[in-house]
Every structure is written in C-alpha cells, then in structure tokens.
Amino acid sequence: MYSICLRYSRDKEDADDIFQQAFYLVYKNLEQLKNTNALSGWIKTIFVNTALKHISNTKLSRHSDIDEIGGDHITEDWNHALSNLGTDELTNLIQQLPSGSRTVFNMYIIDGFSHKEISLKLNISIGTSKSQLHDARKWLQKKIINNTKVNHI
C-alpha cells in the first residue's frame, strides 16, 4: 500500500502522511467490511481515495506544468530504456510528474480507472484527463530515454 502512496505523492513526506491517514481509515472503518475476501481491494480503494483527497486538500494544481516536450518520437531507445528501468527508478520518475499529470497517470495506467471515472473523481473534463495522461506519457518517455543515455555515457 505504501507504493500507492509514493506514486500519488511528490515526495516521501507526503507519502508518509497519506499512508498514515489511510491506515487510520482502514482501522477505523474495518467493521464496515462485509466480505473479508474483498479485503485487499477494499484497502486499496481507501488508499487511492485518501491519496486523491490529500492532493485535493493541498490544492495542488491539476493543470499540467510540463515543459515543452517538442516532437520527440518513440524509437528503439525507448524499448532499451524501459527494459533497463527498475521499479524504484520508475516510481521516482512518476513522483516528479506535475501533480495533475501524476494523478491521472496513476489512476488510469496503474489503478485502472476510465477517463470518465477520473473526470468525475477529480472534477475535470474527460478531455483534460486524456490530455494529462498524454502529457505524463510524453514526459516519462523523454525522461526515461534521457536517463538511459546519461547512464551509458
């Protein structure tokens, strides 16, 4: 569950706050769980919702502040870079995304929400959700490829 907190937060301190709050909510509401077979999904939902609430409460911008990326295209460098990337490195890169793009990326790619669900949960348009996801993907591709080139010099 801590990995969920890390993915949605900008840094370890935010992740710690989210984790502590979510764990408290799990403990506080445990009696509401009707089906013990659904425990892991129920806990994951609490952690994701707590992370989203934390983002909303800290009033982080939901608009992308990604620098102009340019016309980079995916090349064979992308496949090579991605294959050499560890989980910790990817989590670190996701944390560097601007808040709005990071949130949409996590919700869509990792947690499986649809753009419609994201738009409802974050109170943004479906188009904004798609745009944030596109920006996040492009930013991550650029960073991953650049990091691989730097590490091989």
C-alpha radius of gyration, the chain, whole number? 17
Low-confidence ranges of the chain (pLDDT < 70): 59-86, 148-153
pLDDT number for residue 144:
81
Distance CA 119, CA 132 (A): 11
At residue 79, what is the residue type?
Answer: N
pLDDT number for residue 150:
56
Distance CA 17, CA 5 (A): 9
pLDDT number for residue 50:
92
This prediction has a pTM of 0.63
C-alpha distances in Å from residue 123, one per residue of 27, 29, 32, 70? 28, 26, 27, 29
